[in-house]
Amino acid sequence: MAEHGFGIVGCGMIAEFHTRAINDLPNARVVAAYSRSRANAGKIAGMAGGDCKTFDDMDAMLATPGLDVVCICTPSGAHLEPAVQAARAGKHVVVEKPLEITLPRCDAIIDACDAAGVRLCTIFPSRFSPANRRLKEAIELGRFGRLTLGDTHVKWWRTQEYYDSGGWRGTWSLDGGGALMNQAIHNVDLLFWLMGDVATITAQAATLAHERIEVEDTAVAAVQFRSGALGVIQAATSAYPGLLKRTEIHGDRGSARVEQDDITLWEFRDKVPGDDEVLAAIAGASGDKAGASDPRGINHAGHRAQLADFLDAIDRGRAPLVDGRDGRKSVEIIRAIYRSAREGRAVRLPLSED
């Protein structure tokens, strides 16, 4: 099993999750940490242990011996430049969600990685939870019959202090949006992964519970999928005290619901033996609220599973389970929601311009 050396670019909160995930993998280690803040880089290096070096110069970091994968953990609207720089240096690239905040910036990352012949993935750990993978499998097996409704709800709470804690939070230029682009994008990704591509969106968005932010803290969207099925997206950081995120899938032969990472509804017209196992797990569900009110209230298990898949993709020469083009799709859906809310009309996908 080949060992892979990781570099972390941007050493804020989310970099800690990447570092913990890499530390858990037997074939990976963090060998470099880059930040404009030497203190932040030192914190990540301390978590990584070993001989992890710190840098405030990207070119120097990219020249680190043994470095072959770079994780981009900068603010959302600052993913493009380091991702492209890493790709041009021949490094495989992992980008924390969202891939970027506009479609042209997403495309520039994808094109740079294609041109350099390196792998690219966007971090969406929710796809790797056992509950969501079981839901995906049931859809692929046709257990729902014809899909009719697909809904996702992220009714979370963030304090004013959360937005005030970083100059980039709540800005269009670096956050790229609010509750949708920063928090609910995980569930937006899940919804199209489960239900298929989106055809049209009609939406409204507002800032209702926070001050000094440019972006929405509350949004709703009605969705029509290309299959003809309908759906709803709700996203908020304005819903005190913060509720479990929820995804519901319905068809003419079954319904299922995942709350956080637990299946809480699993009903099908045609039963199979494995259903008893799911129903037993429902009875013992934890009800963990994870990041509903605390941005640090998530664990790194999903990151670990996704990074393990990415390294396997590198070693085997295959595409990762979540690539850059998948990351682009969730940004496109959210940009369509923002356009619909701004212009007061239905918006058809794919977007002709961004």
- CATH code given to domain 4-125+300-322: 3.40.50.720
Q: Residue 225 has what pLDDT?
A: 98
pLDDT in tens, 268-317: 999 999 998 898 888 666 555 566 656 655 689 999 999 999 999 999 99
338 pLDDT higher than 80: yes
Q: Residue 281 has what pLDDT?
A: 82
Among 194, 195, 170, residue whose Cα is nearest residue 183: 170
pLDDT in tens, 67-84: 999 999 999 999 999 999
pLDDT in tens, 232-279: 999 999 999 999 999 999 999 999 999 998 999 999 999 999 998 898
Q: Is the pTM of this model over 0.75?
A: yes
| CATH ID of 126-293+331-348, from 3.30.360.10, 2.30.40.10, 3.40.190.10, 3.30.70.270 | 3.30.360.10
Alpha-carbon distance of 23 to 4, in angstroms, equals 11
Q: Residue 298 has what pLDDT?
A: 67
User: Is beta strand 53-55 parallel, antiparallel or unpaired with respect to 147-155?
Assistant: unpaired
Q: Where are the domains of the chain?
A: 4-125+300-322, 126-293+331-348
pLDDT in tens, 16-68: 999 999 999 999 999 999 999 999 999 999 999 889 999 999 999 999 999 99
pLDDT in tens, 177-204: 999 999 999 999 999 999 999 999 999 9
